[in-house]
Structure formats: structure tokens, C-alpha cells
Homo-oligomer: A and B are copies of this chain.
């Protein structure tokens, strides 16, 4: 049962949740680790091991009840709750983020969009009115925000991350092309297509 759960395991849980949601949608009721594994490119043993960190969810000889397991994973991840987010930066990228409805739909609604450029403050994007970056702390506190989304230029990103942490943010979704050193209490995930491409380029380059 529950010991300290490896970070890699936590990163795979969302993939399980998504696959289970898909199967449920397709009216499947039960799935075994042997059938789920190939769908995700993960070995059946790994799926079973991963789930064993949190409990015993399957039935021997049968597999996992999809609806039940999905509910359990959603609860483990906290996806049964809403996690309001604040967006920093409403340039081109920030606007794309603000008008993407996937965040809202998946329980991660943007509740504020902040900018320091005065010419942008007061503008509407999506269903938000752009607010002054200076009000960050106030907004984070008032709306009980734990997640910050960074869509500012690389040059500004380090300062913004510092400010977010000072304001009490505990998780950062970072679209700026930078690396950072944070206290382990603050989690960060980088959305960085260039870095992704560069690591694939290595493999392409090898073949020549």
C-alpha cells in the first residue's frame, strides 16, 4: 500500500486516466493490464506496479473495472476538484492560452490574466479582463489560486516565477523557454516544443 510514490508514477497516472475515460466513452466496462499496456506503450507489469502504490483496484482473473478505477485515479490526482489558475502575459501565446477551452473543461479554469504592459490592461481576452500584474498577490489570495501559467518572454520569466512563488503559488505551468531552480515544494512543468524538437534532432542526425 501507500509508501512514498515515485514521481514518474505520478506522471503516468494522467495517461491512465485519459485512456480509461476513452474506454468508458466507448462503453467498455472492464480492462486488464495486458490490454491497457499496449494502448499506452507501457508494460502491463508497470501498470500493475504503479497502481499498487495507491491500493488494490483490480480483480484477479478479470482486470479493472474501468469506471471504478477512473474514479479512484481522479481522486488520487485531485481531478475531482477545480484548480483555478492565473495567467501571466497576454501576448500572442497568452491569448491562445486564454482562449483555449481545454483548461476550463478539464477543471483548470483561468480566473485572471495579468500583464504589466499598461496598454493591454483592461482589454478583454476570452471571458477575462486583463488586470494589472501588480495585483498578483491580491488576486492569488482572494481567489485561492495555486497554479500560475507563464506566457511572458524568456527575459521576464525568471522574475515572474520569483513573484509567483512569493505570492504563494505552488505549481507553475511554464511556456517560457527557460530552465529554473526552485525549492522542491514548488512544482514546475515546462511546455517547450523547441527543446522537444532538439532532442529528436539528435536521433535524426545520428542516422546521417
Which A residues are closer than 8 A to B by beta carbons? 10-11, 13-15, 17-19, 38-41, 76-79, 81, 83, 85, 92, 96, 100, 102-103, 106, 108, 146-147, 170-171, 173, 177-182, 187, 189, 191, 193-205, 207-208
Contacts and interface: CB of A to CB of B under 8 A. Distances in A.
Contacts of A147: 197, 200, 204
A173 to B, nearest CB: 6
Chain A facing B: main interface SS: helix
A199 B39 contact: no
A162 to B, nearest CB: 14
Given A173-B196, A179-B41, A195-B14, A204 B83 contact: yes
Contacts of A199: 10-11, 13-14, 77, 189
Contact of A15 (B13, B76, B195, B205): B195
A204 B170 contact: yes
Given A10-B202, A13-B198, A14-B194, 20 more contacts: A13-B199, A14-B199, A18-B195, A38-B181, A39-B181, A77-B198, A77-B205, A78-B202, A78-B205, A81-B201, A83-B204, A106-B197, A147-B197, A170-B207, A173-B193, A173-B197, A187-B200, A189-B196, A189-B197, A191-B193
